[in-house]
Chain A
Amino acid sequence: MSSPLAESPLFTIGAVPVAGSVLTSFAITAALGLASFLLTRRLSVAPGRAQSALELVVSTIDGEIRDVMQRDPSPYTPLVGTLFLYLLVANSIEVVPLLHSPTARLETTMALALLVFFSVFFYGVRANGLRGYMRHFVQPSPLLAPIHVLSELTRTFALMMRLLGNVMSHGLVLAIIVSLAGLLVPIPIMAFGLFVGLVQAYIFAMLATVYVGAAVEAEGASPRESVK
């Protein structure tokens, strides 16, 4: 059985090895980007079918962010919505024959978790200023600063490992069941995998929202937005 933590490269471009999950990930990104471009190219006030479906998706994500953060969701929808839609497709692509989820690889989930980590910093600094955001690390006491830093790092690690563990372990379980039982038994497990992928995409996006929301209204920081 090959290790699920390492992936052999498909081919190399110059000195850069390219793995299958990278290709899948790029294809998903390109497909989602192209679909978004085509759907938003001709927006009208009286929407057609495709535009109505798109508006439903966007307004649902907006509503979820508004419920969690209690503020205008427009600055955060691009990040959270992109994460959710990408993860939804990436987790579910396992059901397409010959394709494997890029999120079942350590590198993809690490990149996504680092993205959330830096977004938290970016949105926190943008809302509170650099000094204001840094001040929340020494609240309520400077003695707790190491704990704050540690919690930032461990939650990023947990974000990475949660997504990886769920998607990859589902793939492993599926492989074991396929090797034990025939055709019909794995199909309900694959359907359950779609559900797991949806829940994990939701949880990842929701946790990113919670972390960004906590950074934006960092305790002890001077809220610059509410002054004006």
Chain B
Amino acid sequence: MTVQEWSIVGAVVAVCFGAIGPAFAEGRAIASAMDAVARQPEAGGTISRTLFVGLAMIEAIAIYCLVIALVLLFANPFVH
């Protein structure tokens, strides 16, 4: 296979497997937050705000994988 074809495979693998970890992490975070809100509804505002910031942090990992995939597809340093 040429470098271009390997790059496409690499991009697909990066996005597929890079999304698994953050997906589990976000699921756990949201489950814990809902648990906390159910136990203590009056703290809902603080919990959901912290949750949003935390989700943004977790999501950044998936976004890094997307960036790697885009670099492989559109700005590949090994393809001239």
Give B22 Cβ to nearest chain A Cβ, in Å.
12
CA distance A64 to B45 in the complex (A): 10
> Smallest Cβ distance from A95 to chain B, in angstroms?
23
* A207-B56 contact, Cβ under 8 Å, with A161-B63, A166-B63: yes
Residues of A within 8 A of B46 (CB): 67
Compute how far the CA of A174 lies from the CA of B57 in the bound complex, rounded to whole angstroms.
25
Nearest B residue to A154 via CB reads B60
Interface size class of A (residues with CB under 8 A): 10 to 19
Contact A162 B60 (CB under 8 A): yes
Number of residues in B with C-beta < 8 Å to the partner? 18
The reply to whether the CB of B3 lies closer than 8 angstroms to some CB of chain A is no
Contact across chains for A3 and B63 when beta carbons are under 8 A apart: no
Which of B62-80 touch A at CB < 8 Å?
Answer: 63-64, 66-67, 70-71, 74-75
Is B39 part of the contact surface with A, judged by Cβ < 8 Å? Answer: no
Query: A190 within 8 Å of B by Cβ?
Result: no
For chains A and B in complex, what number of residue pairs have CB atoms within 8 angstroms?
A: 44
Do B66 and A169 touch across chains, with their CB atoms under 8 A apart?
A: yes
- CB < 8 Å: which of B49, B53, B57, B75 contacts A3? B75
A162→B46 CA distance, assembly (Å): 23
Query: Is the beta-carbon distance between A165 and B45 smaller than 8 angstroms?
Result: no
Interface of A is mostly: helix
Chain A residue nearest in CB terms to B67? A161
With both chains docked as a complex, state the minimum distance between the C-beta of B35 and any C-beta of chain A, in angstroms.
Answer: 22
Which residues of A (55-92) have their CB < 8 Å from a CB of B?
64, 67-68
Of the candidates A3, A68, A162, the one having the most CB atoms from chain B within 10 angstroms of its own CB is A162
Given contact pairs A3-B75, A4-B74, A5-B74, A210 touches B63 in the complex (Cβ within 8 A): no
Name 13 extra pairs, CB < 8 A, besides A206-B52, A207-B56: A3-B75, A5-B74, A67-B49, A68-B49, A158-B60, A161-B60, A162-B59, A162-B63, A202-B52, A203-B52, A203-B53, A206-B49, A207-B53
A residues contacting B by CB (< 8 A) are 3-6, 64, 67-68, 158, 161-162, 165-166, 169, 199, 202-203, 206-207, 210
- 7 A-B residue pairs with Cβ-Cβ distance under 8 Å, sorted by A, are A3-B75, A4-B70, A67-B45, A67-B49, A162-B56, A165-B63, A166-B63
